[in-house]
Amino acid sequence: MNIGFVGLGIMGKPMAKNLLKAGHKLTVYDIVTASVEELTAAGAEAAASAAEAAARSELTITMLPDGPDVEAAVLNPGGVLEGAAAGSIIVDMSSINPVTAQKVGAACAEKGVEFLDAPVSGGEPKAIDATLAIMVGGSQATFDKSLPVLKSLGSSATLTGPVGAGNVTKLANQIMVACNIAAMGEALVLATKAGLDPEVVFNAVKGGLAGSTVLNAKAPMVIGRNFKPGFRICLHQKDLRNALLAAESMKVALPFTSMVQQMLVASVNNGRGELDHSAIVNIIEDMAQCQVRKPE
C-alpha cells in the first residue's frame, strides 16, 4: 500500500521503519529534517508538506504529541486533509483528547475521507519491535481495510467503538500504567528505607498478584537508575491531563489519577519531564529522602 506518515518522533520513526520492512511504499513528512533524512536513507520518499504526503497515499498515518498538533497537521492549510483524496484513509495514532479525535473525524467525513483514531501502548521498545497494542475508534469497514497496515506495527489491534473510542481506551490504559508506576515506587521506597534490597523484593513479588507488565518493565529501570526515556514523563502528564478533561466533561471523579497527575506536573517542573515515566518514583524518593537502589 502507498502510505503517508506524518510525525517521525520517538514513536513515529521506528513505526515508519517497520512499515518499510513490511514492504509498503512510504512517503514521510516531519518538521525535523534529520528525521526525514533518516527515513529516506531507509527507503522512504520525502514530502514537502503533510498535504503532499497524503496526496501520494491511500492511507496516511499521523503520530504527533498532542491534540493541537494533530489539528494543525490535519486541518490547517498544507495539512493532511488538504491533500487527502475522497475515499482515502487517515489514521491518527497520537494519544489525544477523544473530543479532538471526534472533531478531526467529523472534518474528514465532510470531505469523504475515512478516519480512525488509533493510539498505541508499549512505548519506544514495542514501537521498535512492532509489538504495540493498538486501540482503535472508527467504523468496522475502515478498520478492516486498515488492519493489514496496523498489523505491521503492533501485535494487537482492537476496534473499541466509534471515532474517539480509541483514545478513551488509551486514556484508561494510561491511568492504569501511571497509578501502577506510582504504587510500585511507594512500595520500593518503603522496602529500601527498611533496609531491604529492592531487587530481592521485586523478584519476591513479581510472580504473585502484584506482578504486572508494568512492574517487570519499570522496576529494573528504577533499581538500575536507568531513566532513559521509553515514554517520557511530559507525555504521560499530557495523557493524564486529557483523561481528567474527558472525565470532567462526563462528570466522572478520578481521585487516583488526579494525585498522580500532580506528581507528574511536579516532575516536569523539577526538570524531569524528558525522563522515562518510571522516574515518577523520584518524587516519592525525594519525599522519603531515600533512593531506590541495591545496598552498597
Q: Do the beta carbons of residue 18 and residue 130 sit within 8 Å? A: yes
Q: Measured in whole angstroms, how far is the alpha carbon of residue 7 from the centre of its chain? A: 12
Q: φ and ψ at 2, to 5 degrees? A: -85, 115
Q: Do the beta carbons of residue 223 and residue 188 sit within 8 Å? A: yes
Which of 170, 193, 206, 294 is labelled catalytic?
Answer: 170
Grid coordinates given for 110: 465532510
170 is annotated as an active-site residue: yes
Burial of 252 (0-12, 13-18, 19+ CB in 10 A): exposed
SS (H, E, C) 199-250: HHHHHHHCCCCCCCHHHHHHHHHHHCCCCCCCCEHHHHHHHHHHHHHHHHHC
The DSSP element (H or E) to which 62 belongs, if any, is strand 59-62
Catalytic residue annotation: 170
